A and B are shown apart, each in its own frame.
Chain A
Amino acid sequence: MRFKRVFGLLCAASISFVLAGAASAQDKTVKIGAVFPLSGNAASAGIHAKAAIETAMDIINNAHPELGNFPLAKNAGLAGLGGAKVEVVFADNQGSPATGQNQALRLITEEKVVALTGAYQSGITLTASAIAEKYGIPFVNGESTAANLTERGFKWFFRTTPIASDFAKVYFDFLTDMKAAGAKTDTIALVHDTTEYGTSVASVITSAFKEKGMAIAEDISYVVNATDVQSQVLQLKEKKPDVVIMVAYTSDAILYSKTMQALDYKPPMIIADDSGYSDPSFIKSVGKITQGVFNRSSWSVGPPGSPTAIIADMYKKRSGDEMDDTAGRQMQAFFVLCDAIDRAGSTDPAKIQAALKAIDLKPDQLMMGYKGIKFDEKGQNTLASGVIIQLQDGEHYVSVWPKATAEKAPIMPFKGW
Chain B
Amino acid sequence: MRRLLWPSVALALAIAYPLLFSTPFQQRLGALVLLYAIAASAWNIVGGYAGQVSVGHVVFFGCGAYAAMGAYSHFALSPLVGIPAGIAASVAIAAVIGVPTLRLSGHYFSMATIAVAELVRLIVSDTDYLGGGVGLSGPTVPRNVFDLSFISALPYYYLFLTVLVLTLGITWWMADSRMGFYLRAIRDSERAARSLGAPASRIKLYAFMLSAGLTSVSGTLYAAMFGFVDPESGLGILISVKMLIMAALGGAGLLFGPLVGAAILVPLEEISNNLLGGNGAGLTFIVYGAIIVLIARFQPGGILTLLMRLSAKPGKTPDISSAAGAPHAP
What residues make up the interface of A, taking CB atoms closer than 8 Å to B?
Answer: 38-39, 43, 46-47, 50, 89-92, 94-99, 101-103, 105-106, 109-110, 122-123, 126-127, 130, 133-135, 146, 148, 152-154, 195-197
Contact = CB atoms under 8 A, between A and B. Distances in A.
A102 B28 contact: yes
Interface in B1-41: 23-25, 28, 32
B226 A97 contact: yes
B137 A92 contact: no
B134 A99 contact: no
B277 A130 contact: no
Interface of B: 23-25, 28, 32, 125, 132-135, 137, 140-141, 151, 222, 226-228, 230, 232-233, 270, 273-274, 277-280, 282, 284-285
B278 A92 contact: yes
Given A90-B278, A102-B270, A130-B227, A110 B284 contact: no
Nearest to A89: B278
Given A110-B23, A123-B228, A148-B134, A130 B280 contact: no
B277 A105 contact: no
Contacts of A91: 273-274, 277-278
A122 B32 CA distance: 23
- Secondary structure of the B contact surface, majority rule: helix
13 contacts: A91-B274, A91-B278, A92-B277, A92-B278, A95-B232, A98-B222, A98-B233, A102-B28, A102-B32, A106-B274, A123-B134, A134-B151, A148-B134
Contacts of A95: 232
Contact of B280 (A46, A89, A96): A46
B228 A133 contact: no
B273 A103 contact: yes
B282 A39 contact: yes
B151 A97 contact: no
Contacts of A110: 23, 25
A233 to B, nearest CB: 25
Contacts of B28: 102, 105
A86 B280 CA distance: 20
Given A47-B280, A98-B222, A133-B140, A123 B24 contact: no
- Secondary structure of the A contact surface, majority rule: helix
B145 to A, nearest CB: 15
Contacts of B140: 130, 133, 152-154
Contacts of A97: 226, 228, 230, 233
A102 B233 CA distance: 14
Contact of B24 (A38, A103, A105): A105
A99 B24 CA distance: 15
B243 to A, nearest CB: 14
- Indicate the member of A39, A103, A109 with the most B CB atoms within 10 Å: A39
B133 A196 contact: yes
Contacts of B222: 98
A335 B141 CA distance: 29
A213 B230 CA distance: 36
- Indicate the member of B135, B222, B277, B279 with the most A CB atoms within 10 Å: B277
Contacts of A92: 273, 277-278, 280, 284
A246 B134 CA distance: 22
A151 to B, nearest CB: 10
Contact of B230 (A99, A102, A103, A123): A123
Contacts of A39: 277, 280, 282, 284-285
B280 A94 contact: no
B117 to A, nearest CB: 17
B226 A98 contact: yes
Contacts of B277: 38-39, 90-92, 94, 103
A133 B273 CA distance: 23
A380 to B, nearest CB: 16
Given A43-B282, A195-B133, A109 B151 contact: no
Contacts of B23: 109-110
Contacts of A148: 134, 137
Contacts of B227: 127, 130
